Chains A and B, each alone.
Chain A
Amino acid sequence: GESVGLHLPTLSVQEGDNSIINCAYSNSASDYFIWYKQESGKGPQFIIDIRSNMDKRQGQRVTVLLNKTVKHLSLQIAATQPGDSAVYFCAENGAAGNKLTFGGGTRVLVKP
């Protein structure tokens, strides 16, 4: 069945270092992927998206990489800051394309 999953449930990173969060998806028909950040007590907040016709997309301090061959998605955060501490979810739009399915989430803890 459809599933979007993450390899690491918790990632501890030193402030200033780079973070990499990984996500595997199983639906080859998905053509749109989003990374969301969710801080404690808040709703998911859009970080960056990527369409299946791209391999890489960069934002401010964040980069998303998409490997369609192995159905793998990653989020790289450069120079991780205390404000980056949150749970990060990847999401994909699935075969029908009209709803988002979320992966299991990775908690990022930034150590000072």
Chain B
Amino acid sequence: DTEVTQTPKHLVMGMTNKKSLKCEQHMGHRAMYWYKQKAKKPPELMFVYSYEKLSINESVPSRFSPECPNSSLLNLHLHALQPEDSALYLCASSQDISRISNTGELFFGEGSRLTVL
């Protein structure tokens, strides 16, 4: 199984809503990532978890709250978002975080497309 599964595929929410994006992988990877991708732009790193601990936060606003309940799951909790937060949110995983050159590539899910009204 070499898949990263993300749910939901599409999400529409108002600025006062609270919602969550979910990501799951069963490859035994110990590093998991959240990327944000705006239309016609490259993915931008948001968070990195290593062995279920937050390792990198790329100065993401607190209205985005990541959570890693176990080694297979990664959540992104959303609260009080702005319309400019509308984007494709991509989850990825890799064997570990020590050095990507040693662990090989990142495996990406198909993303959750978020629209904030």
> Is A bound to B?
yes
Size class of the A contact interface (CB-based, 8 Å)? 20 to 34
**With a CB–CB cut-off of 8 A, which chain B residues contact A41?**
110
Count of chain A to chain B residue pairs whose CB atoms are closer than 8 Å in the complex: 63
**Once bound together, how far apart are the Cα atoms of A69 and B33, in whole Å?**
31
A31: min CB distance to chain B, Å: 5
The interface residues of chain B lying within 8 Å CB-to-CB of A105 are: 40-42
Give chain B residues whose Cβ lies under 8 Å from the Cβ of A102.
Answer: 42-44
Size of interface on B: residues with Cβ below 8 Å to A: 27
B21 to chain A, nearest CB (A): 13
A/B interface sample: 7 pairs, CB < 8 A = A41-B110, A43-B108, A43-B110, A46-B107, A98-B55, A98-B98, A101-B45
Q: Which residues on A are within 8 Å of B, measured CB to CB? A: 31-32, 34, 36, 41-46, 49, 51-52, 89, 93, 97-105
Contacts A89-B43, A102-B44, A103-B42 known; list 12 others, CB within 8 Å.
A32-B100, A34-B105, A41-B110, A43-B6, A43-B108, A43-B110, A44-B43, A44-B90, A97-B98, A97-B101, A101-B45, A104-B42
The 6 A-B residue pairs with the shortest CB-CB distance, nearest first, are A32-B101, A102-B42, A43-B108, A97-B99, A93-B100, A43-B110
